[in-house]
Amino acid sequence: MNERHAISLVLNAHLPFIRHPEHPRFFEERWLFEAISDTYLPLLRVFERLDKDHIPYKVAMVFSPTLSHMLGDPLLIERYLEFLDSRIEFGAEEVRHNKKDKRLYQLSSMYYDRLVEDRVLFTERYEHNLLKAFDYYQKKGRLELLTTAATYAFLPFFLSYPEAIQAQIEVAIASHRAAFGRNPQGFWLPELGWYPGLDDYLRAYNFNYSIVDTHGLLFGQPVPSKGVFAPVRTRSSLAVLGRNLSASMDIWDAENGYPNHPVYRDFYRDAGYDLPRERIESFLESDGARTPTGFKYWAVSGKGKEKKTV
């Protein structure tokens, strides 16, 4: 008998909750803004292209309650637009300044065009509501949405405090239902942390499946006969899937993972740290500290300071 094989692609979208209305701008809020421009909007572009090309796909994605709340917060939405506008203004100057350098001109034009497109997509197509945009693909049956603990708490630390675990789960369900109009079937364990008995809590709240780290499954009792290549069921009937170690190493490993390949841009090398101060005045903090502009012209081409342009 032929066995069926499938790959479950699960993307974990989580950011810590950061919101500081008492400051005109706050550095860590940029984590959210960069994630929107560099991850969530590009992902929605991919979904749209796949649909237009009639290519069937199925992806699972985790939205943490903290991230869902920030994506729907009017203040942070307003600040994201300010974030885009400052970079669009900077990008126009970069394009003008780099006209005599063909390679830098192409790169700065690419960044500028993408920023303008981001603003149009965010304001006009998605009407400031990315949760609704992702929910659209859930309703089409292309996207499976999971939740995770309310504050992304590492649940094994709360073994002696069952009421805290229940609160983390209950708030997560309420947040997910408010954002997407339905209860989630899957629960992403923060940092994939597991302990015996956690499945009882998840099943009590009608979760059908969860995911653990590779060793969490391989060191289980009894040892799964198929390792991480098939889900197992706990005594409470929760389906548990294990993360594929080799696949995760391809993504995360600093030496051998794909982000180390020189075809990729260096995320940490930014024009904001290289250009003369007079060209990046709007990106300087009140104490004069430099901040990233989002314009990254260098490739991952070595551990030293000297790097090649992308």
Query: Does residue 117 lie in a domain region?
Result: no
Beta strands 209-212 and 186-188: pairing type? parallel
Query: Does residue 220 lie in a domain region?
Result: yes
CA distance 113 to 97: 16
Q: Nearest to residue 285, comparing CAs of 91, 28, 22?
A: 28
Query: Does residue 80 lie in a domain region?
Result: no
Does pLDDT of 1 surpass 90? no
If you write DSSP's letter for every residue of 62-83 in order, what string do you get? EE-HHHHHHHT-HHHHHHHHHH
CA distance 164 to 152: 12
Query: Does residue 104 lie in a domain region?
Result: no
Could you read off the pLDDT of 79-125 as tens digits, one per residue? 999 999 999 999 999 999 999 999 999 999 999 999 999 999 999 99
CA distance 247 to 214: 11
Does pLDDT of 2 surpass 70? no
Are 190 and 154 in contact, with CB atoms under 8 Å apart? yes
Are 91 and 111 in contact, with CB atoms under 8 Å apart? yes
Query: Does residue 191 lie in a domain region?
Result: yes
Do 140 and 273 fall into the same domain?
A: no
Do 209 and 140 fall into the same domain?
A: yes
Do 44 and 181 fall into the same domain?
A: yes
Query: Does residue 60 lie in a domain region?
Result: yes
Give backbone dihedrals phi and psi of 62, rounded to 5 degrees, phi first: -100, 130
Are 284 and 291 in contact, with CB atoms under 8 Å apart? yes
Do 309 and 235 fall into the same domain?
A: no
Query: Does residue 189 lie in a domain region?
Result: yes
Query: 305: domain range?
Result: 264-310
| More confident call, 267 vs 252 | 267
Do 55 and 16 fall into the same domain?
A: yes
Percentage of residues in the chain with pLDDT exceeding 90?
A: 75
Q: Look up tokens 């090398």; give the residue.
A: 269
Could you read off the pLDDT of 151-162 as tens digits, one per residue? 999 999 999 999
> Of the ranges 64-73, 199-208, 256-265, which one carries the lowest mean pLDDT score?
256-265
Rounded to the nearest integer, the mean pLDDT of the chain is: 92
Are 35 and 52 in contact, with CB atoms under 8 Å apart? no
Are 101 and 7 in contact, with CB atoms under 8 Å apart? no
CA distance 303 to 284: 26
Do 228 and 163 fall into the same domain?
A: yes
Do 190 and 145 fall into the same domain?
A: yes
